[in-house]
Structure 1
Amino acid sequence: MRRLAILGASGHGKVVADAAQLSGWDSIEFFDDAWPQCRVNGAWPVLGDSAWLLDHLSEFTGVVVAIGNNAVRRKKLVQLREAGALLATIIHPSAVVSRHARIGAGSVIFATAVVNPFCEIGEGAILNTGCSVDHDSRLSDCVHVSPGARLAGGVTVGDESWIGIGACVRQMINIGERVVVAAGAAVVNDISDNMTVAGVPARALVSK
């Protein structure tokens, strides 16, 4: 029996669990540090906290982190890997992923997402519902591409960056680490590390 542990009993976790169930996992169980107050997440039980999971990793065929915050997700992935967890990759059966693409361990790809040939997706990435990543793009670890976002060919995205819902990125653009691209933005120029950009065309937001 293929038994999946999901760390993070959230709404995002429900989508991960649903995709896992549809892709053939036999048993799905959640773990969250809100346990024991949190004992169920949608249709799935919450069995314990993250410490309990770390002590029982050998009981699971795979583990995935369902935490939307990119930095926190990365921290938890490192903890699990160091403890010997087998990081699962979850791909919804309606997603279209080229056989010539490479998907990192611990990543999740949701319904109707498209990953085209010779893309490289790092570990712990989230490719959310209906997004697309075109040919030869490279996404580093713990990137989140939100629902409906579009990345053209040859785009690079650095660690822990977040591409907002419905955003578009022009071909051959380089996006740095820990960047936030706001919902609906159109990125037509490279973006440096740690920036937040918004608008059409996307420009840096300035704090007041």
Structure 2
Amino acid sequence: MYLYGASGHCKVIIDSIESSTNKIIEGVFDDNNELKSILNIPIYNFKQFDKKNIKELIISVGDNKVRKQIAESVTANYVSVIHSNAVVSKYAFIDKGTSIMASAVVNASAKIGKHCIINTGAVVEHDCVLDDFVHISPNASLAGNVKIGEGSHIGIGAQIIQGITIGKWVTIGAGTVVIRDVPDSTLFVGNPAREIKK
């Protein structure tokens, strides 16, 4: 198994993999040639690497746009990782490339798209639908039947009430309380949430 992106987020994914599987992480890819290892795992230049040796890959980059760029440019067998301390309903659907961190909760009939991040202590309640490349930050909470569009980032500690729809490529600021639908490509902050930027 290999990871792509030697960042702080990569360290959390390494911890999740080691907590939940017996798989060996053979290396991490990064464009910074000065980096040699991360948590004692060797770092390689992807362009110079023999791709046929890559059996499984996880994109370990927190930035949603960069994660999408890598996923669209690198053909691989993408796999998901779920920390052993996460609580994921057997009735939830988790698509490939998604990472679910320690103490996160994903409840029944939730549907999580490709290459999403459900970060530490986040809650995704029943019947939520997250499109691809979404990031739910630590301790953020989505009540039931919330829909999150592609590439949107829900900030740390944010709260979204039931039945809300968040558009594509939206940023919800830290601690924001969302009680109304949010359109595409906007930045919302505050309690209650208000738009401050398109």
Q: What is the TM-score when the length of structure 1 is the normalising length?
A: 0.91
Q: Structure 1 residue 206: deviation in Å? A: 4.3
| Other structure's SS at 2:42 match | strand
Moved over 4 A (4+): none
After superposition, residues 60-99 of structure 1 pair within 5 angstroms as 60-80=54-74, 83=75, 85-99=76-90
Aligned 8 A contact 2:155 2:172 in 1: yes
Q: Structure 1 residue 60: deviation in Å? A: 3.0
Q: Matches of 2:46 and 2:54 in 1, distance apart? A: 14
Q: Structure 1 residue 23: deviation in Å? A: 1.4
Q: Structure 1 residue 52: deviation in Å? A: 3.3
1:114 and 2:105 matched: yes
Q: Which runs of 5+ in 1 are unaligned?
A: none
The equivalent of 1:155 in structure 2 is 146
The equivalent of 2:41 in structure 1 is 44
| Other structure's SS at 1:148 match | coil
Q: Which runs of 5+ in 2 are unaligned?
A: none
Aligned 8 A contact 2:188 2:197 in 1: no
Q: Structure 1 residue 22: deviation in Å? A: 1.4
Q: What is the TM-score when the length of structure 2 is the normalising length?
A: 0.96
Question: CA deviation digits over 1:71-99, x for unaligned, max 9?
Answer: 1101101222xx3x110100001101111
| Other structure's SS at 1:204 match | strand
Aligned 8 A contact 2:186 2:197 in 1: no
The equivalent of 1:178 in structure 2 is 169
After superposition, residues 15-30 of structure 1 pair within 5 angstroms as 15-28=12-25, 29-30=27-28
The equivalent of 2:125 in structure 1 is 134
Q: Which amino acid aligns with 1:122?
A: G
Q: 1:206 to 1:177 in 2, by over 3 A?
A: closer
The size of the alignment, in residue pairs, is 197
